[in-house]
Amino acid sequence: MTQKSAIVTGGGRNIGQAISLRLQQDGYRIFALDVAKPEAESLQADAVMVDLTDAEATRQALRGILVSHKVTCLVNNVGLVAPAPLEAVQLEDFDRLMHLNLRTSIICAQLVVPEMRRHGGGRIVFNTSRVTKGKLDRTLYSATKGAAQSMARTWALELGKDSITVNCVAPGPIATTAFWENNPPDAPKTKAIVDAVPLGRMGTPEDVANAVSFFCDDRAGFVTGQTLFVCGGVTVG
């Protein structure tokens, strides 16, 4: 129980897998919690297949990890989008997104934080989104991510005395399968999104992972309650 370990929710695909791989490079043993098996072989041995919308299954998975591993890092990454204009928003999607995008973070923290205290501190990082500044057709997604950023600031105040930092990384347009599913490549809206990036390119999952790595580093111990936008500059203007 000497190697430091990290739990990454939704850590088996897209940005989550990139985060898992980067933290693995940083020396963490990675437990990727996801409904899908990671594509990366290095993550497969410790991957935990679990439906994170199931609260009790999530608790059981976490307890199985915490009983024998020194978890000092939690990355709340998992999330669904369900894009729709206001008049088409479904209440079923409200429950689904709130449970997965937000409730999962609470469940994980309630079990992991006592272990972090026992080990003298830790890192909690939320993967939120630039949609918290406003984006068409994102009523529910922006609500969950805005709530996550507010919750992170509250946790930063509550947990600071325990040397536990809590921060957010908020990606802008990132080239993932999830992005292309919600933004068809040939659609005028999608072209406008890409053209509006000041740096002139889409972001990569690795861009986000690098920011998460910074917040999880032992040397970032005086940074808490912050949100870092990894957006190519789209949130500046």
* Residues with catalytic roles: 141
Alpha helices in the chain (DSSP H): 14-25, 41-44, 55-66, 91-97, 104-118, 139-159, 177-182, 188-195, 205-216
Give the Cα separation of 111 and 115 in Å (integer). Answer: 7
- In whole angstroms, give the CA distance from residue 234 to residue 229: 9
Query: Alpha-carbon distance 215 to 35, whole Å?
Result: 26
What is the helix (H) or strand (E) element at residue 8, kind and residue range?
strand 4-9
**81: number of Cβ within 10 Å:** 22
What would the two tokens of residue 143 be? 């609500």
**How long, in residues, is the chain?**
237
Using an 8 Å Cβ cutoff, are 141 and 171 in contact? no
